[in-house]
């Protein structure tokens, strides 16, 4: 199967930026260990921040990995958002579906999961 088709045994590699919000299942992160900021952030505010970051990346004003390192609530921030290689059923379903739908080098729209809101860059 082609990479875009996302066959059962196929793996992908992706980086992401996660912004947690009050609806996130775990309201703490490396940036906000007590969850004070996350608990006060609405989904709409988190999505607006993420859209701003996405626009900076698409316009060439900023580098994905640099923004991930500074803004992502995921511990992958220290790797520029890199999640490494993963296959089917290893990530939350909306995240998996969005990643497999992307072409290599393509940046997703906002993706909602139980963790928060993400933008995903498929890298392989």
Residues 6+ apart with CB under 8 A from 21: 38, 41, 42, 43, 45, 46, 116, 117
Give residue 7's pLDDT: 52
Does some domain include residue 33?
yes
Tokens 């992958």 belong to which residue? 76
Of the CA atoms within 13 Å of residue 56, those in its CB half-sphere come to: 17
74 belongs to the catalytic site: yes
Please tell me the total count of domains within the chain: 1
Catalytic residue chosen out of the listed positions 16, 21, 72, 108:
16
Does some domain include residue 2?
no
State pLDDT tens for residues 104-117: 999 999 999 999 99
Does some domain include residue 3?
no
Query: Residue 2 above 50 pLDDT?
Result: no
Does some domain include residue 77?
yes
State pLDDT tens for residues 67-96: 999 999 999 999 999 999 999 999 999 999
Does some domain include residue 64?
yes
- Please give the residue range of the domain that contains residue 95: 12-122
Residues 58, 80: Cα–Cα separation, whole Å: 17
56 belongs to the catalytic site: no
75 belongs to the catalytic site: no
Quick check: 78 and 72 in contact, CB under 8 A?
no
Does some domain include residue 110?
yes
Q: Which CATH number is 89's domain given? A: 3.10.50.40
């Amino acid at each position: 199967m082609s990479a875009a088709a996302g066959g059962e045994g196929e793996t992908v590699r992706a980086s992401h930026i996660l912004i947690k919000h009050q609806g996130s299942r775990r309201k703490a992160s490396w940036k906000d260990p007590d969850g004070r900021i996350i608990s006060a952030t609405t989904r709409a505010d988190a999505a607006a921040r993420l859209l701003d970051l996405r626009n900076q990346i698409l316009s060439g004003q900023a580098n994905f990995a640099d923004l991930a390192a500074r803004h992502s609530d995921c511990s992958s921030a220290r790797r520029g958002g890199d999640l490494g290689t993963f296959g089917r059923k290893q990530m939350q379903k909306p995240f998996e579906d969005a990643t497999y739908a992307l072409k290599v080098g393509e940046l997703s729209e906002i993706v909602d999961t139980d963790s928060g809101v993400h933008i995903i860059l498929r890298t392989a």
